[in-house]
Structure 1
Amino acid sequence: MYPVLEYRLNDPLNGYPAIYHFTDLDPIQIFCRRSCDYFVLEGKVYEVTSTALERDRFVIYLKKDEGEQPFKSAPLDRPLGIEIRLYEEYSESKEFMYVSCFDHIEVFSRLDSTYLTLRGKEYERVSAEMDQDRLTYVLYVKETAE
């Protein structure tokens, strides 16, 4: 039996309401999601505020990020992998490349890395998100001076 993963709003006044949950994720998928800084659901962007481990479930707490919008033109229906975007602070970050992954262990190894070598250059992780609407992991990076 796989553990439960639940996304909750970090809203103590309303009892931390659950907005999404899974009962069938492999534990490594849960760790991939817990390593993300943002979560996209139903056209809304949420920032991860914290994570918790309860007796019978993993919990990811979220707050709505009013300043962010999901990508207007982003590919759908890709295989398991990571969409890598060059981070731009006040505009839509352009897609740099897509890395297909064999399994979630490979996804986690990239999402959880501070530095990645891509196309022969070193890049630093800025943040990561799980876009539930597109079933895609997104990694934001910036080129290092190296």
Structure 2
Amino acid sequence: MQTTITIRTLAATALVVIWSAGSASAGLFWAPSAATKTSSSALHYHDGTYRGPSVRQYYGYVQAQAHIKNGKIVAIDILRSPTDRRTSRYINSIALPRLKSEIVQAQNTHVSNVSGATLTSDAFLASTHAALLQSLN
């Protein structure tokens, strides 16, 4: 089952399935497109708390939750991130707070990845982006 979300100012989120060595892995894939290049003032988020999906990256899953108040992103929570490796914990402790801050400041997910944390950045931004899509409905 595949669900397509269409919003006039944001790109759709697609389900990607990767087959390898007899096992399948599913996750969300997000990439900015020309349709997503809008100013934050054009978007009006509905107040509430919105949970993004768990997005699989190479070392585990990342999941975010967005808090919207008065039509603005006021906070992003990290619900899930890889913790089984010391390196993952270190990368996440630096990258995720930086991404959270950048998203709140920009009021959208059009922020740069954290250098050295590309996989984590991509997964976190995808989960946050999906949560923000929910807040537009």
Q: What TM-score results when the alignment is normalised by the length of structure 1?
A: 0.30
Q: What TM-score results when the alignment is normalised by the length of structure 2?
A: 0.32
Determine which structure has more spread, i.e. the larger CA radius of gyration: 1
Task: Say which structure is richer in helix.
Answer: 2
